Each structure stands twice: as C-alpha cells, then as structure tokens.
Structure 1
Amino acid sequence: MNARRQQHGTNEKKKNEFWEWSKALLIAFGLAWIIRYFLFTPIVVDGESMMPTLEDGDRMIVNKIGYEVGEPDRFDIVVFHAPEKKDYIKRVIGLPGDRVAYKNDQLYINGEPLPEPYLDPKKEEINEGTLTEDFTLEELWQIEVVPEGYVFVMGDNRRYSKDSRIIGVVSMEEIIGSTSFIFWPPNELGLVE
C-alpha cells in the first residue's frame, strides 16, 4: 500500500511539473506574440533606396508604439504600408503644413534650407548632375503644403527611390512605426541616423 501511495505521489508530481512547464511556455509565447504584434517587429530592408544609410538585406527592429503616443519627426526613418500592398522604408522629409522643395540639390522646408548630412556619402559618389532633382510640391502633386495627417517621405538613394515624389504623400495611418536599429548583419549592428 505504501508503494502504491508513493507511485501515485510521483505521478501527481510529474503532472504538476508538466502543467507548470506548459503554463510557462504558453505565457512566453503569448508575451512574444504581444511584443511582436503591438510593440516591436523585425523588418528586412529590400532594395537600395535607402543606401548608403541602409543596405539591401539589413535587418532592423521597428518600434510600433512610438507613433501611438506621438507623431513622426523630420528625418525619422519609418516603415509604412505602400500602395502596392508592400511595406516601404523611407525617411520623413516633410511634416503636415510644410512646403517642401528641392533646388540645386538643396532641401528647402518652408523656404529655409535644411542640411541633410546623411546624404553626403551618396553626393560624393556622383560624377555629374545632382542626387535629388529640383521639384516643389506644386509641381509634383498640385498642393502647396503637406496635408494634415500626412508626411512626405524620400529614400536616401534619391536617384533610385520610389517615394513621395512618385507615390504621393503618406497617410500617418499607414505608418507601422519608426526604425533606427540594425541587428543584422553583426558588422552593421547599431543605431542609424
């Protein structure tokens, strides 16, 4: 009888241990899903439109909660749903109410020139012409300013970027989040500006 009671106790202990491990795994998977779905998600850079800042194949973390409590800042790198049912990664250039223009490879916001030091390496590669062709919002989209609830985005590799010059201004509702941290490849690990 004593051996039977010990056997029963051992079986109960195994069941409890199994149940505790099952709960721990369910909680871990649940937390991972919540973090990925609501807070952060990985993305792979696809293409060369953000070179030299981002390379094709770079893996980054997208912060999905930042814009739930705030709005994009100028020059943030954002990921958004593009019209082609694809996610794009670009840099915010114009904010709501901004007049955006380019002249002689110089960005003008509301008539004031703004530096873009992240473009300097790409500008040095160019043998002739400019990195960014001249334009105004009026010329591109017949609007004077970036509308409320929208941003004007561009890739850093201006000659090879499908951005707001082609697809139009981007609704803030389409923005998934911002990204500034490369986690792969290891030699690129770190923050980008």
Structure 2
Amino acid sequence: MDDMPRRIPDSLPALRAAARRAGFTLSCEERTGSLLALLAATRPGGRILELGTGVGAGTAWLLSGMDAASRLVTVELDEAVQKVAREQFRSDPRVAFVAADGGAWLEEYEGEAFDLVFADTWPGKFTHLDRALALVAPGGTYLIDDLLPQPGWPEGHGASVRRLLTELEERADFRTVRMAWASGHLMAVRTAPSGRW
C-alpha cells in the first residue's frame, strides 16, 4: 500500500520551493505532515503547540487540519527561517509565531495547556522534555519525529534517542506508541493530570 498523502496543503509547494532556495533541509516530510493534519482535525477548537517552525511545512499541515476555532502557537529559534512561514500565513488569524529559543520559551510560558504538542526540534524533546510534557492537557497528545536514523545525526545521537524513548515509555502519566514509519515517531497521550494543572 502506498502511504503517501493524496491531499497536501495548498501552501506546501511554495514552502518547499522557499526551503530549497534557503538551503533549509529539515522540513517536515509529507507522511508526518498528514499525521499532523489528522491529529489537528481530532481537536475542534483545540490549542496546538509546534516547537520548531522551520519554514512552515509542519505549520501548513497543522493549519490544514485545524478548524476555524483552533489556535496554533509555533516557536522557532531562527527568525530568518521562520520569516518564510510568517509571510505565507500572515493572513491566517489561527496561528501565532514566536521567534525565540524553544527551551527559554518553555521555561517562561505560563499560559493554558495544549491539546497537541509537536516537538520537532531539540527543546521539548532532547532538552526541556518535562516542561513540554507538562503543557499537554489531560487527554492531549505529544508527538515527536525523526527517531529513525537520519542523515546528519551527530555522533552518539542514536543513544540519545534510545534514552528518550525509554524515558517516555516509563512515564506513568502517558500512554505511548512507537511508529517505525516515515522518519520514526513516538506518540504519547496524557492519561493523568499534570501536577501543573
């Protein structure tokens, strides 16, 4: 069975072209994007957090699944890269762009919890994991990708991935599932309230 998505966001070709021009090679791939759209669609009026905007490929997929009442906050360290996404989605009131270090943002954020957290960068995944998980609302979903070996992984990164998976799977407050599909995913759903909420 061919698992490539049949429908893609209208904005995706332009974002892909902008990424190529900028030499940006870390965009969300299409199967991951289709999963993001599906998860966003399960949360009418939902609050969504994306850590790692990049040029906005993941943002496009999330927005394509969101309804009019849903809201997305997307955080990116590299403001020049994020500018591509800001320009593409400048007229969409559902998305708020934050140009900041993801770890610092996680440490300082004191707002509402999120129904979906997609951690597509180091903060919220390999650093500041507890802070990111604390922002997942009861019944909410935490998703990470790039867990299968990727070109450009730094030396020893495979061991970091294995430690991360073990840590997530040992948590009593989340149910997890590994998916050896696309770039490799782990999805976790909060089953017990966070101490924060």
Greater Rg, structure 1 or structure 2?
Answer: 1
Question: Given the two structures, how large is their TM-score scaled by the length of structure 2?
Answer: 0.21
Question: Given the two structures, how large is their TM-score scaled by the length of structure 1?
Answer: 0.21
Higher strand share: 1
